[in-house]
Structure 1
Amino acid sequence: MKRTSEPLPPFEFLAAVIHYRLQTELTEDTPKFPTYEPEKFDDSSISRFIKKTNLPQTETIVLLLALVPHLLPGFLSSILATYFPDGGELPEFGGIKGTHYRGIFPTGETVLYILAGTHIQQRIEVSSIFEAQHVFKKNNIVSLDKPIHGEPAMSGRLVLDEEYLFWITKEKVVHPELSEKFPAQRITTQLEWDDLILDMETMDHIREIETWLHYEKELKTDWDMGKRIKPGYRVMFYGAPGTGKTLTATLLGKHTGKDVYRIDLSMVVSKFIGETEKNLANLFNKAENKNWILFFDEADAIFGKRTETRDAHDKYANQEVSYLLQRIENYSGLVILASNFKKNIDTAFTRRFQSIIEFKNPDTKERLALWKHNIPEKASLAEDIDLNNIATNYDITGSNIVNAIQYASIQTIAKKTTIISREDLLKGIKKEFIKEGRMM
């Protein structure tokens, strides 16, 4: 390793650590372990992350190893070539090849070798870095891929979470995208609480949830209630589509500074035995300790009433429900289940909810408020439009009202005017009735 007064980049420190191990194990030399001085690292984003988080020496080495495939594909190969110029392998070093990636993917074995060499007791102690209570596992920063069945656990590839990869290298937060491995999508809104028009009883229940989100940490720590109450908060929203369930979940996140993820149940539920649990595990492992709000829309698909066990499929379906119940009960954040009907949800779940909230269809007064609130400021209503009359005669939801106004507004713009006609507004309402199979 070069001895200069220049700031020491973190990967030079990692290279020095690997050289120390290889020299110790493969030569007669007795080198000194490199001094860990993060304050002398350069001013790269990686160095800033290490300094800002006060990352200990061992964790820094593991983190840098996990970064290697993303930034320096030839890093490990070039170091090993120094000791094996004619080729050859060092099984103790671990590492695997990828399908297209030409470098070496470090594995758990690589970590054990670099940090403990062939000393068995030290290797056992180092392996605790991958256990559940470690900060890497708790925050889903670095983990090990599951190895092929029957192979040692430490032969799994070292994996750096994609969010942390972007945070460490580009210093920006990247939200996970909907995929087979992550069956959820972040939802946001530009609306505010004033845009959500609900009856007072429902709003009071919503405020209770918002209060919990603001003060649950204080309750658990300052008031020492953490050991007496279960983690997290579980709530059920039920009511007809378009009554504000999704908007409420999104606003709760917006006004408490928490990301809201809507779970795509079509991607979670699988016809293949065991796959549903795997999909759910991916979701909860990702969400753990991030304090996300998890919103299960149309929850009947998986939270519905369990069936009698008539065949193997029923048996595994019930196991999936039990598994989900366990993960929800252990989740430390807010979980919201949304359903059109309360009776569709298994009572095994409803018993564990802190709150069950009905989203009722708006009454005449609330419908009038929704009509007035959602008419565009730029628009005006024709003289023959009586919103009181429309709110009284047409029993529709807030979502229906917004859709009807959207239709009427588009027609108005097309006519090169800003005055919404009664005909266009009624056509918009009629379209909403037709979609729901109702007569206007």
Structure 2
Amino acid sequence: MSFDSANLERAAAWLAQIARQRLTARAGQLVETDLGAFDYYEDGSWLAHLLRRHQPSGEEFGILMLALSPHICPHLLDTVIAEVRPEGGELPELGGVRAAGHRAMLPTGETAQFFFSGMNMSRRFDIEGMFLADHWFARDRILWLESVREGEPLMSGRLIVNPEIIEELVTGKIGRPAFSMDFPAEHIETAMDWDDLVLNPLTRAQIREIEHWVKHNDTLMDDWGMRKRVKPGYRALFYGPPGTGKTLTAMLLGKHTGKDVFRVDLSRVVSKYIGETEKNLSRLFDKAENKNWILFFDEADALFSKRTDVRDAHDKYANQEVAYLLQRIEGYNGLVILASNQRANIDDAFVRRLQAIIPFPMPQQEERYEIWRRTFPEQIALAGDVDWRQIAARHELTGANILNVTHFCAIEALAKQTREVDLRCLEEAIKREYVKEGRVM
């Protein structure tokens, strides 16, 4: 038995009874069916939670169940139609469509109007109003109407349920989305902890402020009534040279606040075709909405860079992309982190809307000493000529550089079947990092 099956079985029987009453009525007659509150089991399921939260009217609950019917009881409508009208025949006012790969009838907005308003024009308009953007169906991305071709009635579109709802009804949970063209972001996590990350004290203090927001935002917005005064979500910029801990900090924020962190792949988002970047961003934010995810835009300059003067059509549409992104980020109710090598590269319009601008500078000598000391595994013995304070003083390296050096030395020690690393091996590895970055040791 699935997580929601008891409530769903009762709801399917309720919907079938409504359908029988409407189909047995004379064409055009309004049947006053009992659409009172659905008597559900309080079992902690998604459906029970929705009914408790929204207290839907009978019509709203009926539309929801009608939209769910192809997924939970595909034969329901066809069975009732065959039972009530065994002679068959067309019934245009019933609406509904047939799909190429699904043989049963799929309900449309017209089907909802037929079952819950008959041919009463005023009540039909009431049903149509339930598919507008200000209704909780749309606000919470519960269900919507499929777009129709130009010239066709709006209500002839299929009833579409958020696929995540189907997943939760069947499994009792919503899994993390897989990285794909439709969701251009990957889930990232780390086994490291705050003790493994050495940060500038100012940077650490500002990161702690973000942790406080994540932990206490719901209390502030709901219990203290700040939702009407403060925009949802939190937006921060991490800026500094590569390898200074920006990505690791984002992962640790997620780890210690219980939030999933998704790194957005900008190569999959930005498109040279007009309008495609906005579509990609729309899919991303629609999926993330109300999930409390942390969205991490690495190398954010590609999307958040300064707008240019409009000299041609390309500049015009590039600026439109930035404006659209600004709008979506402002409306996102979770944490958005932008990462950039240079603060000056980010458009001023974004900077004004950021709650935090956090520098990740090159580690200073004492910080480098701590990174060296913490990074090398305990299994490696250091030769007498290795002095971490001297190494830290001589070489300006980032945390990522030091980790690369540690990795190289550890592999070399294992290959040589020794547990000792001396200064010669260490400086050889450091030299490799200098060469990679085009610097002279």
Work out the CA distance in 1 between the residues paired with 2:185 and 2:77. 36
Work out the CA distance in 2 between the residues paired with 1:221 and 1:196. 34
For residue 319 of structure 2, what is the aligned residue in structure 1? 318
Work out the CA distance in 2 between the residues paired with 1:114 and 1:424. 79
For residue 127 of structure 1, what is the aligned residue in structure 2? 128
Equivalent pair of 1:239/1:340 in contact (CA under 8 Å):
yes
* Unmatched 5+ stretches in structure 2: 1-5
Work out the CA distance in 1 between the residues paired with 2:277 and 2:190. 29
Work out the CA distance in 2 between the residues paired with 1:418 and 1:111. 73
CA 1:191–1:212 in 2, change beyond 3 Å: closer, same or farther?
Answer: same
Equivalent pair of 2:383/2:420 in contact (CA under 8 Å):
yes
CA 1:365–1:127 in 2, change beyond 3 Å: closer, same or farther?
Answer: same
Work out the CA distance in 1 between the residues paired with 2:432 and 2:89. 72
For residue 405 of structure 1, what is the aligned residue in structure 2? 406
Work out the CA distance in 2 between the residues paired with 1:36 and 1:171. 24
Work out the CA distance in 1 between the residues paired with 2:168 and 2:158. 21
Deviations 1:80-125 (A, max 9, x none): 3334545544333333333423333323232232222222211221
User: Is 1:373–2:353 an aligned residue pair?
Assistant: no
**Range moving further from structure 2, 46-55 or 377-386:** 46-55
User: Is 1:189–2:190 an aligned residue pair?
Assistant: yes
Work out the CA distance in 2 between the residues paired with 1:342 and 1:137. 37
SS at 2:97's partner residue? Answer: coil
Work out the CA distance in 1 between the residues paired with 2:161 and 2:423. 58
Equivalent pair of 1:38/1:50 in contact (CA under 8 Å):
no
Deviations 1:189-237 (A, max 9, x none): 2222222211001111111222222223333344443333333222211
Tell me which amino acid in the other structure corresponds to 1:372: R
Work out the CA distance in 2 between the residues paired with 1:90 and 1:229. 51
Work out the CA distance in 1 between the residues paired with 2:70 and 2:198. 51
User: Is 1:395–2:396 an aligned residue pair?
Assistant: yes
TM superposition shift of 1:285:
2.2
User: Is 1:93–2:83 an aligned residue pair?
Assistant: no
Tell me which amino acid in the other structure corresponds to 1:178: F
Deviations 1:310-349 (A, max 9, x none): 2222111111111111222222322221111111111122
Work out the CA distance in 1 between the residues paired with 2:352 and 2:370. 35
Tell me which amino acid in the other structure corresponds to 1:155: S
**Between the two proteins, what is the percent identity of the paired residues?**
48
Work out the CA distance in 1 between the residues paired with 2:366 and 2:155. 64
Map 1:276-295 to 2 at 5 A: 276-295=277-296
Map 1:239-278 to 2 at 5 A: 239-278=240-279
Work out the CA distance in 2 between the residues paired with 1:176 and 1:428. 39
TM superposition shift of 1:44:
11
Report the TM-score, using the length of structure 2 for normalisation: 0.87
Work out the CA distance in 1 between the residues paired with 2:134 and 2:36. 27
**Range moving further from structure 2, 272-281 or 58-67:** 58-67
**Range moving further from structure 2, 208-217 or 88-97:** 88-97
Report the TM-score, using the length of structure 1 for normalisation: 0.87
Map 1:28-427 to 2 at 5 A: 32-33=33-34, 37-39=38-40, 56=56, 57-85=58-86, 87-427=88-428
Deviations 1:248-304 (A, max 9, x none): 222222222322222221122111111111222222222223332222211111111
**Range moving further from structure 2, 348-357 or 177-186:** 177-186
TM superposition shift of 1:424:
4.4
TM superposition shift of 1:46:
7.2
SS at 1:118's partner residue? Answer: coil
Tell me which amino acid in the other structure corresponds to 2:390: N
CA 1:126–1:419 in 2, change beyond 3 Å: closer, same or farther?
Answer: farther
Work out the CA distance in 2 between the residues paired with 1:309 and 1:75. 57
For residue 436 of structure 1, what is the aligned residue in structure 2? 437
CA 1:74–1:391 in 2, change beyond 3 Å: closer, same or farther?
Answer: same
Work out the CA distance in 1 between the residues paired with 2:343 and 2:218. 30
SS at 1:236's partner residue? Answer: strand
Work out the CA distance in 2 between the residues paired with 1:88 and 1:414. 80
Work out the CA distance in 2 between the residues paired with 1:315 and 1:187. 34
Tell me which amino acid in the other structure corresponds to 1:400: N
Work out the CA distance in 1 between the residues paired with 2:296 and 2:205. 20
* Unmatched 5+ stretches in structure 1: 1-5
Tell me which amino acid in the other structure corresponds to 2:144: S
For residue 3 of structure 2, what is the aligned residue in structure 1? none
Work out the CA distance in 2 between the residues paired with 1:109 and 1:422. 78
Work out the CA distance in 2 between the residues paired with 1:330 and 1:388. 48
Work out the CA distance in 1 between the residues paired with 2:135 and 2:340. 37
CA 1:430–1:15 in 2, change beyond 3 Å: closer, same or farther?
Answer: farther
Work out the CA distance in 1 between the residues paired with 2:54 and 2:27. 33
Work out the CA distance in 1 between the residues paired with 2:427 and 2:237. 34
Work out the CA distance in 1 between the residues paired with 2:430 and 2:110. 65
CA 1:334–1:27 in 2, change beyond 3 Å: closer, same or farther?
Answer: closer
Deviations 1:151-183 (A, max 9, x none): 333333322223222222111231222222222
Work out the CA distance in 2 between the residues paired with 1:130 and 1:194. 50
TM superposition shift of 1:48:
5.8
Deviations 1:374-433 (A, max 9, x none): 222333333433222222222221112222222322333334444445454444433333
CA 1:129–1:255 in 2, change beyond 3 Å: closer, same or farther?
Answer: farther
User: Is 1:10–2:11 an aligned residue pair?
Assistant: yes
Tell me which amino acid in the other structure corresponds to 2:153: P
SS at 2:311's partner residue? Answer: coil
Equivalent pair of 2:93/2:110 in contact (CA under 8 Å):
yes
For residue 3 of structure 1, what is the aligned residue in structure 2? none
TM superposition shift of 1:240:
1.0
